[in-house]
């Protein structure tokens, strides 16, 4: 066969950007709905499969893992308070796509390929949360000690928002998600429907991930087979950085748009990379929502940072940009700093004719939620983000100096408000995620040793905090713990009890003990 271009997938300088059209993941369709207390509950069966996927028009296909054989997986659409049941079936091969480091927690005496699905941001009973130790192998031949059920029940008892589902198996989450196991889960509600936001073809979810490839087009993930010599091979890196950018599974795609308003729900589903996003023409974003739903009021922003697992819900009005090509740029605020390739994400080409007049709105008032009153907090906790060195001389990032399997220390009472002070001793940010709850960011402040008492507890002065970024207001489930600062969040544990977790959402950190149990008790 004759090659049209000499393309080396490992080197982004050898292939053009913006030649693949953006794809939008299809909606998942339920197997059946069944009557349950006179309610029809949709039942989905979603199969995790190994398939071949084309990331770029000029690439050979790449072996990936996808939910229903797709990456991103199919989008599940649910309505507030209407339950959905999902059976997430592991039909994956016995051997992993990526070499597995068998020195990490949970990987030593367990099958190489294990999965468990977590619905990120869900208010959900503990047995359907996708606990890392509730993993199962193909056909449930082996299961983790926290495994209890095959069918997960989502009550969707929370405001409309953009959730996402992804793998969470202990010790290999970074590899499973990188292999392709992630998808969107949208909760709709009546309030939002009344707002007349852009919808249908004008409402598009965007999942951004950095990837790297070998010359033959297969996914590249470092095995770290370099000295120090006492390291195992493969040995997990303490972070992964890809040299290409995928949006909804295509590298640097473009999207042809009409000169009108579009709603985008943007998710950073990268292992480590944080993005600092803006439009190349200096255009503005109308932010309407964050991780956990709509803001009280829409705000205009010209840039924002999206850490791993964070979502932003925004509207871009292309009506003034007829004929323009606008690039979504990754600039200031990106971690690590972007280069010429990773500095661009995708392109919007305002070339389609307007099909019909745009009657959608960007309402000023969106969602009347009641902010948490931090003065009602039942308990305050100071949690240090620190490190140790493992027996191979590798840095391990930890939460409060404890390992994943150390006894639970974050035991919270249902129906109480807690304030957590996340003390980041590193010189780079860690995106901290708490399962089950939403929270508000109260603010941040640089710290010195004088800010802590003898026990290491933070001497909290509420008025001394600087407020969160404008785009970080509202209800969140991931927060950037900024370097050299205390980041203070407040959360209300409202509904469920049981065993949950909290962790850094840099997947290489999470897999290497920057993850802790969280217990909610009555």
- Which stretches of the chain bind Cu ion, using CB under 5 A? 120, 397, 430, 435, 504, 506, 509, 514
Length of the chain, in residues = 522
C-alpha to C-alpha distance for 215 and 89, rounded to whole angstroms:
32
Enumerate residues 301-320 that contact ligand C2O by CB under 6 A. Answer: 309
**Shortest distance, CB of residue 372 to Cu ion, whole angstroms?**
19
Enumerate residues 485-514 that contact ligand C2O by CB under 6 A. Answer: 503, 505
- Match 């840039």 to its residue by tokens: 303
Q: Which residues contact 45 (CB under 8 A, 6 or more apart)?
A: 31, 86, 87, 89
Supply 250's token pair. 């295509």
Nearer residue to ligand C2O within complex by CB, 293 or 443: 293
Residue in the shown chain whose Cβ atom is closest to ligand C2O:
120
C-alpha to C-alpha distance for 316 and 70, rounded to whole angstroms:
27
Q: Mask 394-433, x = binds ligand C2O (CB under 6 A)? A: ---------------------------------------x
Closest CA to 334 of 318, 323, 320, 345: 345
Q: Where are the beta strands (DSSP E) in 248-318?
A: 250-251, 254-256, 261-268, 275-279, 285-290, 293-301, 303-306, 311-317
Residue 114 binds which entry of Cu ion, ligand C2O, none, CB below 5-8 Å type-dependent: none
Applying CB under 6 A, among 435, 492, 496, 516 the residue interacting with ligand C2O is: 435
C-alpha to C-alpha distance for 130 and 120, rounded to whole angstroms:
9
Nearer residue to ligand C2O within complex by CB, 169 or 366: 169
Nearer residue to ligand C2O within complex by CB, 132 or 217: 132
Size of the site for ligand C2O (CB under 6 A): 9
CB 128 within 8 A of CB 152: yes
Q: Phi/psi at 127 (nearest 5 deg)?
A: -75, -5
Nearer residue to Cu ion within complex by CB, 327 or 335: 335
Measured at the alpha carbon of residue 78, what is the angle toward residues 256 and 156, in degrees to the nearest 5? 135
Q: Where are the alpha helices (DSSP H) in 64-170?
A: none
Enumerate residues 232-271 that contact ligand C2O by CB under 6 A. Answer: none
Residue 504 binds which entry of ligand C2O, Cu ion, none, CB below 5-8 Å type-dependent: Cu ion
**Residue 516, interface with ligand C2O (CB under 6 A)?**
no
C-alpha to C-alpha distance for 168 and 493, rounded to whole angstroms:
22
Residue in the shown chain whose Cβ atom is closest to Cu ion:
504
Enumerate residues 107-126 that contact ligand C2O by CB under 6 A. Answer: 118, 120
Cβ atoms within 10 Å, residue 227: 7
**Residue 480, interface with ligand C2O (CB under 6 A)?**
no
Residue 509 binds which entry of ligand C2O, Cu ion, none, CB below 5-8 Å type-dependent: Cu ion
Residue 309 binds which entry of Cu ion, ligand C2O, none, CB below 5-8 Å type-dependent: ligand C2O
Applying CB under 6 A, among 17, 49, 56, 168 the residue interacting with ligand C2O is: 168
Residue 267 binds which entry of ligand C2O, Cu ion, none, CB below 5-8 Å type-dependent: none
C-alpha to C-alpha distance for 257 and 261, rounded to whole angstroms:
9
Q: Where do contacts with ligand C2O occur on this chain (CB under 6 A)? A: 118, 120, 166, 168, 309, 433, 435, 503, 505
């Amino acid at each position: 066969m004759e090659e049209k271009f000499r393309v080396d997938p490992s080197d982004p300088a050898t292939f053009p950007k913006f030649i693949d059209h953006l794809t939008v993941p299809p909606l998942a369709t339920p197997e059946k709905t069944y009557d349950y207390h006179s309610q029809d509950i949709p039942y989905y069966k979603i199969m995790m499969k190994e398939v071949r996927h084309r990331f770029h028009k000029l690439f050979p296909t790449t072996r990936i893992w996808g939910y229903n054989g797709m990456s991103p997986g199919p989008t599940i659409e649910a309505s507030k308070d209407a339950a959905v049941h999902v059976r997430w079936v592991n039909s994956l091969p016995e051997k992993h796509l990526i070499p597995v480091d068998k020195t990490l927690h949970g990987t030593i005496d367990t099958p190489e390929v294990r999965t468990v699905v977590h619905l990120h941001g869900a208010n959900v009973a503990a047995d359907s949360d996708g606990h890392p130790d509730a993993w199962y192998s193909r056909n449930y031949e082996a299961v983790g000690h926290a495994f209890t059920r095959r069918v997960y029940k989502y009550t969707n008892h929370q405001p409309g928002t953009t959730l996402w589902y992804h793998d969470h198996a202990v010790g290999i989450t970074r590899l499973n998600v990188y292999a392709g196991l992630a998808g969107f889960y949208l909760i709709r509600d009546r309030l939002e429907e009344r707002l007349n936001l852009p919808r249908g073809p004008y409402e598009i979810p965007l999942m951004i991930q950095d990837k790297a490839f070998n010359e033959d087009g297969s996914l590249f993930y470092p095995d770290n087979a370099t000295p120090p010599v006492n390291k195992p091979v493969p040995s997990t890196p303490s972070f992964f950085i890809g040299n290409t950018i995928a949006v909804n599974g295509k590298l640097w795609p473009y999207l042809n748009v009409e000169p009108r308003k579009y709603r985008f729900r943007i998710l950073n589903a990268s292992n480590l990379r944080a993005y600092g996003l803006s439009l190349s023409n200096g255009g503005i974003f109308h932010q309407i929502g964050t991780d956990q739903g709509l803001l009280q009021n829409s705000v205009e922003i010209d840039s924002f940072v999206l850490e791993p697992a964070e979502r932003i819900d925004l509207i871009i009005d292309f009506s003034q940009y007829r004929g323009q090509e606008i690039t979504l740029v990754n600039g200031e605020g990106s971690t690590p700093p972007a280069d010429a390739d990773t500095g661009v994400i995708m392109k919007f080409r305002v070339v389609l004719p307007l099909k019909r007049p745009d009657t959608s709105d960007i309402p000023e008032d969106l969602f009347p939620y009641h902010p948490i009153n931090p003065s009602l907090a039942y308990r305050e906790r100071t949690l240090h983000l620190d490190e140790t060195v493992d027996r191979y001389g590798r840095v391990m990032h930890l939460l409060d100096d404890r390992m994943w399997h150390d006894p639970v220390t974050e035991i919270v009472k249902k129906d109480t408000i807690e304030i957590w002070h996340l003390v980041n001793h590193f010189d780079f940010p860690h995106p901290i995620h708490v399962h089950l709850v939403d929270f508000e960011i109260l603010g941040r402040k640089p710290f010195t040793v004088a800010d802590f008492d003898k026990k290491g507890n933070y001497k909290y002065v509420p008025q001394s905090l600087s407020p969160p970024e404008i785009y970080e207001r509202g209800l969140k489930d991931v927060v950037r713990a900024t370097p050299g600062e205390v980041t203070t969040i407040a959360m209300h544990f409202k509904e469920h009890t049981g065993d949950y977790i909290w962790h850094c959402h840099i997947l290489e950190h999470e897999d290497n003990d920057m993850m802790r149990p969280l217990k909610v008790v009555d």
